[in-house]
Each structure stands twice: as structure tokens, then as C-alpha cells.
Structure 1
Amino acid sequence: MFVLAELKDNVRIAPDHFNLKLIDAVRDEIDRKLANKVLLNVGLCIALKEIVSLKDSTILPGDGASHTEVLFRYVVFRPRLGTIMTGKIRNCSREGVHVTLGFFDDILIPQAALQHPSRFDEAEQAWVWEYPLEDGAKHDLFMDVGEPIKFRVTREIFEETSPIGPPKAENQTAQNASTSAAAAAAAGAQEVKTPYKIIGAINESGLGVLSWWDQQNKEDDPEGKKGDDTTDYENDEDGEGACEE
């Protein structure tokens, strides 16, 4: 779920931080730039692990700050494909079930990856698994907001969100500028991109809302004889939560 990414950057240290040790100032600046940010094709940056090397600092003409090339390792959230994780249902829509891990919200379980057959209940704004019973009837199992849910990571999507091109020249009248600004704001609101999104699936036995399987286990084992051998897969399918390169 968490990996170590080796990165290189040219770190700028402002003159008002010259009173700090160079390594401390570099650490602060790296965390300021990267913590809780998504790097394209790398993942969500969590925390600085270690600084591998520092090259000589230079001061460029016309700039009183120092510039130092730094090689470092950063803890990044990027689960492997196939990893089994546990989160909570944030909300449901016709698109599917939206899941949060607390520190990361952009997880979607699309309609096609839900248990079959499932339907979207407009009144409850929740997906419902129509669980088949032995007598041919169906029992509705709701995917309610806040419920813990176990899912498998099936895909990841990175989007480039950097600005493209300079802003248009401001050579219009005040009225035209106001109209243009309103249109640009509306277009910007429609074109908001998610830099990193995880796609999951629950259409396998044992996956889905945890209370479904807890209830089934109690029905299958009313005396609680099997309850001691369960395995926690909250971090990943191998039970590993440590960082790895």
C-alpha cells in the first residue's frame, strides 16, 4: 500500500532560513512542496523518509536564495493492483460506490464491479445487493454511508492537472471581461480533474460491506467456534503494511 519513491529535486532555500542547518532547511522545504501532493505516475506523497545525498549549494545571480540538488526517498501511497483494502463508504451515486480511507477519498467501485445483481435505490441514495436466497427469493443488502467495505484494487488513473498555456490577454472592455471571467469560471468548474484515482471491485466472495459477512459467519457458526482464525487484510492481501522499494 505504501512504497518508497526515490526522487531528485533542486531545492531553493530562502535567505530567512539560512539560520537553520542545511539538511533541516532542505527537509522542511521538501515536505512543504510534496506532503499531501500527488506526483504524476508516482502516487500520493505522505512523508519524507530520508535524504540520500546533498550536492554543493549555489547562489544564482539576482537571487539571494541558495539552490541545492537533493536526492531523497519519500513515502508514497500507491497500492499495487490486486491489493485488498478496507475503507468506508463515503457516498453512492449512479456511477458507483465512492470509498474513503480517511486520508484518501478518490476511490470508486463502479457499477459493473459490484455484486450481481445490484440496483441503485434513489430514495436511499444507496446501492443494494439483491442477495439470492435458497427459496428463490431475494434479500436486500444496502451499501450505506459510513459502512466499512473491503475491496480489491483493479485499476489506477493518473491525470495531468498542470495549467496548459498562458492566460488570455486582457484587451477587452470591462463588460466583456466580466462575461469572459464568468464563462471561464463555469468551464473551470466543469473541468476539475482528479490527479489520482483508484478503481476497485467487490464482485468476489468475501468482499463488500463487512457486516454482510459478519452476519453470515454468525449464521453459519452460531457457537462462535471459527471466530479466532480470521485474518486482517486491511493493509493488503499479503498482510504487509511496511514500506518497500
Structure 2
Amino acid sequence: MFVLSIIKDTIPIHPSQFGVPPEESLINELNKKYANRVLHDVGLCLCVFDISEAGEGKIRYGDGFLWYTVIFRMTVFRPFPSEVILAKVKSSDAEGIQLSVGFFDDMWIPLPYLPQPSAFDSNERAHFWLPGSEATTSHDLLDSPTSERMYIDQGEIVRVRVERDEFNDDEPGPPKATEGVQVQVETRRPPYTITCSVAEQGLGPVSWWKAGEEAMDEG
């Protein structure tokens, strides 16, 4: 789930920070620049792990900053495909389930990756699984007794398998309009999204499998 990525950059240190040890100043500036930022094809940067190499600070004409060329290792959040992780259900709608790991919310379970047969209960605002049912339509599933449904409720901790991740590089800018023509503003996509699945044994809310695991431990 967490990896170390090697990055090279040139970082300026303000004169007010000249009294601070250079390594500490560099780490502070690197965290300001990279923390909570998505790097394309790298992942979500969390914090600097360490500095591998740093050149001597050089002053450029006109600004008074000390500029350092540094090579450092960054702690990055990027789960690999097929990795099983724990997340919390943030919300649900007819399109699927949104997950969160606290510091990252752009995780999704689309309908094809839910356990089958399952349906969305608009009254409960949650998807449910009906194990052992032969129903093939959402209408039939919604006619089932609620006591037989296994809901994936908001706030529940779920065990999911990562299927894939995707980086989006949507360039911001004003919408283009032609005179007399109304242009719809397109919604920008998140820079980094993760698609997950709970369509396997052992996946889904941990409460579904807790009783079975306890029974095995006792056995």
C-alpha cells in the first residue's frame, strides 16, 4: 500500500531559514511542496522518508535564496493490483460505493465488483447482498425480507481487493463558448482513483466473516 519513490528536485531555502540545519530546512520545504499531492504514474505523496543526496547550496542572482539540488525518497500511497486492504464506506449510490482510508477518498467499488446477487436499497442508501438467492433482477431482490439481506452500510470497515488505479490529467481552464451557444461545464475527474472489488469470499464488511473466523480459531 505504501512505497518509496526516488525523486530529484531543486529546492530554494529562504534566507530566514539559514539558521536551521540544511537537512531540516530541505525536508520542511519538500513536504510543503509534495505532501498530499498526486504525481502522475507515481501516486499520492505523503511525506519525505529521507534525503539520499544534496548538493551545495548556491545563490542565484536577484533573489537571495539558497538553491539545493536534492535526491530524496518520498513515502507514497499507491496500492498495487490484487492487494487486499481495509477501507471505510464513505457513501453509496446507485452507481456503486465510495471508500475512504482517512487521507484518501477517491476509491470506488462499481456495480460489477459487488457480490452477486446484490441491489441498491434507496431507502437505506446502501447496497446489500442476498446470499443463496436465485433472483436475477433488482426488483426481485428488493422484494426479499430485510432480515435476509447483508447490507454494506456507511461507516463500515470493509476488506477490498484493488483491481486497478487510474491517473487523470485534466487541464483546468474556462469552458469554451460560441456566441449564442450554451456550453455545459464538464466535471473534472480526480487526479488519482482506485477501483476495488468485494466480489470474493472473505471480502466485504469484516463483520460478515468475523463470526466464521472466531469459530475457526476456537476449533
TM-score band w.r.t. shorter chain:
0.7 to 0.9
Q: C-alpha separation between the residues in 1 aligned to 2:105 and 2:10?
A: 31
The amino acid of 2:155's aligned partner reads G
Corresponding residue for residue 239 of structure 1: none
Q: Which region of structure 1 is more displaced relative to structure 2, 61-70 or 2-11?
A: 61-70
**Distance across 1 between alignment mates of 2:111 and 2:16:** 53
The corresponding residue for 2:27 is 27
Q: Post-superposition shift, 1:111?
A: 0.5
Q: How many residues align?
A: 202
**1:227 aligns to what SS in structure 2?**
helix
Match runs of 1:28-67 below 5 Å: 28-67=28-67
| Corresponding residue for residue 99 of structure 1 | 99
**Structure 2 regions of 5+ residues with no counterpart?**
135-143, 176-181
Q: Which runs of 4+ in 1 moved over 6 A?
A: none
How far the C-alpha of 1:161 sits from its partner, in A, is: 4.7
Segment of structure 1 superposing worse, 76-85 or 32-41: 32-41
1:131 alignment partner, SS class: coil
Please report the RMSD computed on the Cα atoms of aligned residues, expressed in angstroms.
Answer: 2.5
The 5-angstrom pairing of residues 95-174 of structure 1 reads 95-132=95-132, 139-161=148-170, 163=172
C-alpha deviation, 1:162, in angstroms = 5.3
- Report the AA paired with residue 107 of structure 1: M
Secondary structure in 1 aligned to 2:11? strand
Once the 2 structures are TM-superposed, how far is the Cα of residue 82 of structure 1 from its aligned partner? 0.5
Partner residue of 2:140? none
TM-score normalised by structure 2 residue count: 0.83
Structure of higher RCO (CA pairs closer than 8 Å, 6+ residues apart): 1
Q: Percent same amino acid at aligned positions?
A: 34
Write the mapping of 1:205-224 to structure 2, written as runs, cut at 5 A: 205-215=201-211, 217=212
| Structure 1 gap ranges (5+) | 169-182, 219-223, 230-245
Listed one character per residue, the Cα deviations across residues 181-234 of structure 1 (whole Å, up to 9, x for unaligned) are xx99x83xx53321111100111111111112224x28xxxxx552269xxxxx
TM-score normalized with structure 1 length: 0.75
What are the superposed Cα offsets for residues 97-123 of structure 1, whole Å, 9 maximum, x if unpaired? Answer: 111111221110100100111111111
On the 8 A contact 2:117/2:133 being kept in 1, the answer is no
Alpha-carbon distance in structure 2 between the residues aligned to 1:79 and 1:35:
17
Does residue 195 of structure 2 align to residue 195 of structure 1? Answer: no
Change (3 A) 1:225 1:118: closer
2:216 paired with 1:226? yes
